[in-house]
Amino acid sequence: MRHLVDGGKLGRPTGHRMSMLRNLVTCFFERERIRTTLPRARELRSLAEKMITLAKRGELHHRRQVLRIVSRKSTVKKLFDKIAPRFAARDGGYTRLIKIGPRHGDGADTAYLELIGSEFVPKVKKDKGKAKKGEKTTEKEAESKETKKEETHEEVKEPRRKIFGKWGPSDKVEKHAKTRQQKQHIKAPSSGQ
pLDDT tens figures, 166-177:
555 555 555 566
Predicted local confidence at residue 128, as pLDDT: 67
Q: Average of pLDDT values for 56-71?
A: 93
| Per-residue pLDDT tens digits for 91-119 | 989 999 999 999 998 999 999 999 998 76
Q: Average of pLDDT values for 58-62?
A: 93
- Which of the residue ranges 6-10, 66-70, 128-132 has the most confident prediction, judged by mean pLDDT? 66-70
User: Is there a contact between 44 and 34 (Cβ–Cβ < 8 Å)?
Assistant: yes
Q: Average of pLDDT values for 75-79?
A: 93
pLDDT band at 79 (very low <50, low <70, confident <90, very high): very high
- Between CA 49 and CA 113 the distance in angstroms is 12
Mean pLDDT (the chain) is: 79
- Between helix 38-57 and helix 60-69 the angle, nearest 10°, is 160
